[in-house]
Amino acid sequence: MNELQMPDLTGFDWAGLWETVQTLGLDFGMKVLMALVIFFVGRMIARIATKGLRKAIQSREVDKILESFACNLVYWVLMIFVIIAAINQIGVQTTSLIAIMGAAGLAIGLALQGSLANFAAGVLIVMFRPYRVGDFIEAAGISGTVLQVQILTTILKTGDNKQIIVPNGQIMGSIITNYSANDTRRVEMTIGVSYDDDLDKVRSTLKELVNADDRILKDPECLIAVSELADSSVNFIVRPWVNRADYSSVKFGLTEAIKKRFDQEGISFPFPQQDVHIYKND
């Protein structure tokens, strides 16, 4: 059986090999270093360009939604170019890479249909502006003040100071109630009194309370009327108009004022009650 013959490396140029390795390593290291420089400098330029765009938009007093959406979009588009340039510096052929990215993008697009739907919904929000930054809205089953509209999501702040991130697709796919769209709002109140109370006295008392509150608008006029003869009470509706910012304070304040004034006037708030008839059979 023949023994394994080891190659004769006596005359091999080890010094030349080491020099070649050093040259290639140095060359590749410089490419990696330059790629990192391109990435970090490019990211800095993208941030500076985004800040410049934000200032330009703010100087024109453009809506906050458009400002946030445009700045986010421009930043990520610039970062894509920066990443491609950094990869190209290393020596990767970007033409083939772009082709691969296109094919991968198609596959990813099919897998991320929800994200694409959110992006499209974000574009629709910017175009049609169903709400603006600072508006109080109800959408997708959530109520809150709009803090920011991003490419894929809308950020809301609830009344108890929680931050909620809602996908744009869910918002555009649901009913949107914008409580801040108009300057005035109507307060809806239902006040029940006893059947034994004088209805004219109740109506005049309610009118006095409404007229005494300076936050309630005189035009349109507040509606005070009997709305229902319920099982245990006669229900009045009270519908004053107020400025949007005064809605909650007027509703809470007027409710307390009605309770105190009715106690003074002897007007009762009836409790639900039923008459029970008992029949005894021998």
CB 210 within 8 A of CB 165: no
Tally of CB atoms within 10 A around 91 = 11
CB 243 within 8 A of CB 184: yes
In the CATH scheme, what architecture does the domain 130-178 have?
Roll (2.30)
The model's pTM is 0.60
Chain region(s) in the chain for CATH 3.30.70.100: 184-265
Give residue 134's region: left, alpha or beta (phi > 0; psi -120 to 50): left
Residue count (the chain): 282
Tally of CB atoms within 10 A around 253 = 14
CB 207 within 8 A of CB 224: yes
Partners of 225 in the β-ladder: 237
Among 107, 140, 113, 111, which residue's Cα sits nearest to residue 125?
Answer: 140
- The model's pLDDT over 36-77, given as tens digits with 9 standing for 90+, comes to 888 888 889 888 888 888 888 777 766 676 777 778 878 888
Identify the CATH class of 184-265: alpha beta
Low-confidence ranges of the chain (pLDDT < 70): 1-26, 61-63, 65, 92-114, 273, 282
Identify the CATH class of 17-111: mainly alpha
Chain region(s) in the chain for CATH 2.30.30.60: 130-178
Tally of CB atoms within 10 A around 131 = 23
